[in-house]
Structure 1
Amino acid sequence: MRLYIAGKAPNSVKAIANLEAICRRYLKDGYKLEIVDVCEHPRRALADGVVVTPSLAKLSPAPASNVIGNLSDTGSVLAALGLHAGAME
């Protein structure tokens, strides 16, 4: 996974916290997360086609998917990751 954020913007801070909580609860240690600050690496963001932050990109396994926003909707994040909350409980 790759999370694109915009520095310490409130939604970016929330997205990091929300994603960390989701990963702790549902993924345990079975994930790899890269956080890209588009303020520090604007060319990287543009090369990756990111125009909105925060934005989470699931890169593998295929199919790739994206979630935009502060990641407060756990169900949407899990669906983008190919997981379902009910099955994970």
Structure 2
Amino acid sequence: MIADAIETAEAAAVNSIASEIEFGVPSKEIRNYIDTNEIDFAILGTHGKTDFSRYMMGGVSVKIVRTSPVPVMWVREPDSSGG
């Protein structure tokens, strides 16, 4: 999945592409990466779960949006049914 995203970015001639794998609490590791690498805009994939309990408990992307010092955009994978 990460390799596919990198390939897509390279095909679109994105200027700077980096990938890194870290271990730990995902939201904390992503926030640390944003801070450490002077990221100015974050794009996060989301599964788009919409039930109220998931929203209140907060997934990784929700935690990033709440704590990020930079703008964050959520991107949902297209529906596989084509709809």
* TM bracket, shorter-chain basis: 0.3 to 0.5
State the structure with bigger RCO (CA 8 A, min sep 6), 1 or 2: 1
Normalized per residue, which structure has more strand?
Answer: 1
Instruction: Report which of the two structures shows the higher radius of gyration computed on alpha carbons.
Output: 2
TM-score, normalised to structure 1, is 0.31
TM-score, normalised to structure 2, is 0.33
